[in-house]
Structure 1
Amino acid sequence: MKKLIFLLALFFGFTAIAQNSQLFEAGNEAYAAGNYEEAIDQYEEILSNGETSAGLHYNLGNSYYKLDRIAPSIYHYEKALQLNPGDEDIRNNLEFAKNMAIDAIGEEENTGFKGIFDTSTAAFSASGWGWIAIFCMVGFVVFFLVYYFSRKTMVKRLLFIGAMFFLVISISSAVVAATKQNFQQERNYAIIFSEEVEIKTEPSPRAEEAFLLHEGAKVKITEDFQDWVEIELPNGSRGWMLQNDLKRL
């Protein structure tokens, strides 16, 4: 019975991968033909299947950008950048999309340790560093096993050095991955999807208006209260808005 369940899970897993691959190719073909709505439908179906990748979000961002849909284009470029922070094409297209937004509110500056850490580890996402840690740990195990069974002194020394090298890189990568994941959780950002939003001084529709924001604006969520969220802008301005008007990154 266990073997049958395993085989069925394996079959459906390969089927899902094949289906998502076909959807991705169909989306690419629709995009190349200028059928951006159809391309979006194909890409969004992949997301609904639980599959995600930097390339998928990047293509969605491009499709929405072609239709002048500011908020979803910025949202998907931001998601792509989270998964592949070192990609210059994603960064450039994100800047183009931001130029379409009404509110020029800038970005929060990363200073101190977080700024240095983000800059020095920007080549990979948290999951990317995690995969490096796993591969290096496999390398450590292989080198150590060969070292253990080897009889030649010089070969044992080289294998031991190689094993320690992989171990250090694996541990370092795991620490980087965990730290980046923690930083991402602390940075609770969202993109405003409504055309125009009144930001209130309190979480109440009867509260005074603090300021206005428009679709595509990126905000930091600092607190949740029932159907409301408190947001903060890079300049320090704060206010409350309904969470249905935004989409969390």
Structure 2
Amino acid sequence: MKLPLKICIAVLALFLTATGKAQGEALFDQATEAYNQGEYDRAISLYQEILEGGQHSAALYFNLANAHYKNNEIAPSIYYYEKALLLEPGDPEVLNNLAFARNMTLDAISPIPKTDLQRFFEKVVFALTTNQWAYLGVFLVILFVAGYVMFLVFRTPNRKRIALLGSLAALGLGLLSTALSYLQLRAYQQDQPAIIFARELPVRSEPNPESQEAFLLHEGTRVQVEDSLGQWRKIRLADGQIGWAPSSSLRLLKDF
């Protein structure tokens, strides 16, 4: 009885998934048609309905951002362009539209220049994806084992020396590849970007509404969330300024 029940559950899950996908595609087409007709509020409502159904994609976020941009809604347009970039990094069309949306923001923040060492470190760590570094590490460890086996099998000193050196090199590179995978994963986890949604936000020096105002931000500005305390978020700007803002005034980009 257990096996047929599991099969029925699996079939039902597949049916519901296919049905949900079909409904999402139908809503997407309706939203796109509404957008093309200039009905941006209706398009936004339909795109949001798709998101509430648990479906998301770079195209969905991109179209939703375009609809908000047409409505002159700065923060939501930037927010959804940024989310589209998380799913499709480097997409030229998204980058181009994001640049137009950012021109509507009021805050001019100059990022702290990176040192040559920082740029070199990022270039090395992000040369491959986290999974690619991990797969490479596993492959090199397998080469290490194969080299060590050949070291045991070979009889001549030269072959044994070459096999041993090769296996040790593979082991070293495998450990390095695994370390780079970990560093990239850690950098991704520490990177918590958010977009300010409040039209005007006094950022405080402490997580207290009565504390001194550190600086003033406006909607659409991108910040980094470094810490949380109750309903407050510790944020950092690209120029290094740090302060506290209510969590209701911003939205995390990685909150899918």
1:39 aligned onto 2:43: yes
Map Cα deviations across residues 210-243 of structure 1 (whole Å, 9 max, x no partner): 1100000101111111111111111111111111
Judge conservation of contact 2:201–2:216 (CA < 8 Å) in 1: yes
SS at 2:207 equivalent: coil
Which of structures 1 and 2 has the bigger CA Rg? Answer: 2
Judge conservation of contact 2:111–2:239 (CA < 8 Å) in 1: no
Provide TM-score, normalisation by structure 1: 0.74
Q: What 5-or-longer segments of structure 2 have no aligned partner?
A: 140-176
Match of 2:95 in 1: 91
Match of 1:150 in 2: none
1:116 aligned onto 2:134: no
Match of 2:145 in 1: none
Match of 1:18 in 2: 22
**Structure-2 change in CA distance of 1:197 and 1:51 (3 Å):** same
Provide TM-score, normalisation by structure 2: 0.72
Of 6-15 and 59-68, deviating more is 6-15
Q: Give the length in aligned residue pairs.
A: 205
Deviation of 1:49 after TM superposition, in Å, equals: 1.0
**Structure-2 change in CA distance of 1:35 and 1:179 (3 Å):** farther
Match of 2:214 in 1: 210
Match of 1:221 in 2: 225
Could you tell me the percent identity over the aligned residues?
A: 41
**Alignment RMSD:** 2.6
**Structure-2 change in CA distance of 1:181 and 1:22 (3 Å):** farther
Query: Counterpart of 1:86 in structure 2: which amino acid?
Result: G
**Structure-2 change in CA distance of 1:194 and 1:31 (3 Å):** same
Deviation of 1:181 after TM superposition, in Å, equals: 4.6
Of 100-109 and 57-66, deviating more is 100-109
**Structure-2 change in CA distance of 1:114 and 1:58 (3 Å):** farther
Deviation of 1:86 after TM superposition, in Å, equals: 2.2
Match of 1:145 in 2: none
> Which one of the candidate residues 237, 243, 246 is aligned to 2:241?
237
